[in-house]
Amino acid sequence: MLQTARTTLKRLPQRGSHDLDVIHAILDEGLLCHVGFVHEGQPYVIPTTYVRVGDHLYLHGAVASRMLTTMGRGAAVCVEVTLVDALVLGRSAMHHSMNYRSVVILGTAQDVTDVVEKRRALEALVEHVVPGRMAEVRRPSPNEIAGTRVLSLPITEASAKIRTGPPIDDEEDYALPFWAGEVPLKMVAGPPVPDPRLAPGIAAPATVTGYRRRND
Amino acid sequence: MLQTARTTLKRLPQRGSHDLDVIHAILDEGLLCHVGFVHEGQPYVIPTTYVRVGDHLYLHGAVASRMLTTMGRGAAVCVEVTLVDALVLGRSAMHHSMNYRSVVILGTAQDVTDVVEKRRALEALVEHVVPGRMAEVRRPSPNEIAGTRVLSLPITEASAKIRTGPPIDDEEDYALPFWAGEVPLKMVAGPPVPDPRLAPGIAAPATVTGYRRRND
């Protein structure tokens, strides 16, 4: 049921996919999602962290968050994740593009009230951002879990959109004396910056010094 | 008029800004925006390129694009741009965060029908993604301009949100023997990949070989 009329690409459908493995891989690589919801007739888009666990996406925030309150009431939402892989430079201005992988999920979210599921989601969120990190921190206390709102969104109506490869120029433009190709882009981690209050003798762990987002 | 009730941060207002220079700088550094709009009661979020020219944001796409058609009818939209600067790792799971700079713009867009303004916006878009590139490509033809829809969104109701600095742990957690600090993240360009159909003897220009997104 991933593909519905609403998640079927109307333009360039060859770039679309409803393959669950493709969708999961993009969600697992991304750091931030962009949540769209409607409040008093106005659409809002809010960036936030997330984690996929099985076939659900989990979001979290303050109990009073407007976004989570709206979502918790069963409002329709849209969650979008986009990874930029390269700039695509054609020989003409209008054939510049980007290589990217994106996912859009439509649906309604539910408040997670079960404490075990909440803890699992919150800890998975930390692991999603920094794999291995949960073994190196204080775990959430019952009070912290109670004071945090967690919502789950089923990944049931979703699509991926992917562009790869070189520019597609107009046939007559290939003879132009201009460079064309791709400029790969990658999110990379710099050297860790210790907290000014870090106690002496605590070295940055391998989860941090070896941090990389992409498996390449 | 950048600050309205709708663009005033309800949570952590100390992270908010309505300074136009701050908003412009974030918009000028970003590559993609995330456009929220409502179609038949369902919010959608679509990633797309954009460019700021003065106090307007320009978006473009196919004439038949659902997003642009909805926007062109004067529907309320939300445009969001987020730059991720660092992962913020606290000593406890719940005090993990990110350093980021984001902008949200609310408003209604207008179809740009003036050919001169359309051309300026489309060429500025290429320059926004790859500064200097317009001198190295074929410019848009009148037909290409006619076949492309351009919308402008005034930056009149907008806010920035910024987090910087180390983690903020609970006071009693500072004694824990866990590493804490920031992991800077940066979007970097890899070596350019020439189009397989690139004519012999055309070297990648400095705009491409020296490509960097951030001024640092």
Domain CATH for B10: 2.30.110.10
* Residue B119 binned pLDDT confidence (cut-offs 50, 70, 90): very high
CB contact under 8 A, B140 and A203: no
B123 vs A67: which has the higher pLDDT: B123
pLDDT at B216: 55
Confirm or reject contact between A192 and chain B (CB < 8 A). Answer: yes
Q: Is B98 among the domain residues? A: yes
Q: Is A216 among the domain residues? A: no
Q: Model's pTM, two decimal places?
A: 0.95
Contact B59, B153 (CB under 8 A): yes
Q: Is A173 among the domain residues? A: no
The chain-wide mean pLDDT, for chain B, equals 94
The chain-wide mean pLDDT, for chain A, equals 94
pLDDT at A215: 56
Chain position carrying tokens 């590559």: B31
* Residue A159 binned pLDDT confidence (cut-offs 50, 70, 90): very high
The arithmetic mean of pLDDT across residues B69-78, rounded, is: 91
pLDDT at A216: 55
How far is Cα A63 from Cα A35, in angstroms, rounded to an integer? 17
- 3-state DSSP call for residue A199? coil
Q: B residues 56-115 near A, CB within 8 Å?
A: 62, 64-66, 76-80, 82, 84, 86-87, 89-94, 96, 98, 100, 102, 104, 106
Residue of B46, B136, B166 with shortest CB distance to A179: B136
Q: Is B10 among the domain residues? A: yes
pLDDT at B169: 97
Rg (CA), chain A: 20
Task: Give the structural domain span for B161.
Answer: 5-168+180-188
Q: Is A215 among the domain residues? A: no
Q: Any bridge partners for residue B42, and if so which?
A: B39
pLDDT at A25: 96
How far is Cα B209 from Cα B216, in angstroms, rounded to an integer? 17
A160-216: pLDDT as tens digits: 999 999 999 999 999 999 999 999 999 999 999 999 999 999 999 999 999 998 755
HEC string for A77-112: EEEEEEEEEEEEECCEHHHCEEEEEEEEEEEECEEC
CB contact under 8 A, A89 and B140: no
* Residue B3 binned pLDDT confidence (cut-offs 50, 70, 90): confident
DSSP 8-state assignment for residue A76: E
How far is Cα B204 from Cα B136, in angstroms, rounded to an integer? 11
Sign (positive/negative) of CA torsion A5, A7, A9, A14? Answer: negative
Chain A residues with CB under 8 Å of B164 CB are: none
pLDDT at B1: 57
- Report yes or no for ipTM above 0.90: yes
The proportion of chain B whose per-residue pLDDT surpasses 90, expressed as a percent, equals: 83
Chain A residues with CB under 8 Å of B137 CB are: 89-93, 96, 178
Q: Is B196 among the domain residues? A: no
A76-90: pLDDT as tens digits: 999 999 999 999 999
Q: Provide the domain count of chain A.
A: 1
B81-112: pLDDT as tens digits: 999 999 999 999 999 999 999 999 999 999 99
Chain A residues with CB under 8 Å of B192 CB are: 181-184
* Residue A132 binned pLDDT confidence (cut-offs 50, 70, 90): very high
B8-63: pLDDT as tens digits: 776 677 788 889 999 999 999 999 999 999 999 999 999 999 999 999 999 998 88
Residue of B43, B93, B194 with shortest CB distance to A36: B43
Contacts across the A-B interface (CB distance below 8 Å): 288
pLDDT at A11 over 90: no
Burial of A39 from C-beta contacts in 10 A (0-12 / 13-18 / 19+):
middle
Confirm or reject contact between A200 and chain B (CB < 8 A). Answer: no
pLDDT at A1: 57
Interface test with A, best of B9, B40, B195, B198 (most A CBs within 10 A): B195
pLDDT at A16: 83
pLDDT at B215: 56
A61-77: pLDDT as tens digits: 888 888 888 888 899 99
* Residue B72 binned pLDDT confidence (cut-offs 50, 70, 90): confident
Nearest CA in chain B to A126: B93
- Give the side-chain half-sphere CA count within 13 A for A100: 19
Q: Is B197 among the domain residues? A: no
Chain position carrying tokens 């992962």: B87
pLDDT at B16: 83
Chain position carrying tokens 């907290």: A195
pLDDT at B144: 97
pLDDT at A5: 81
Chain position carrying tokens 């929220």: B36
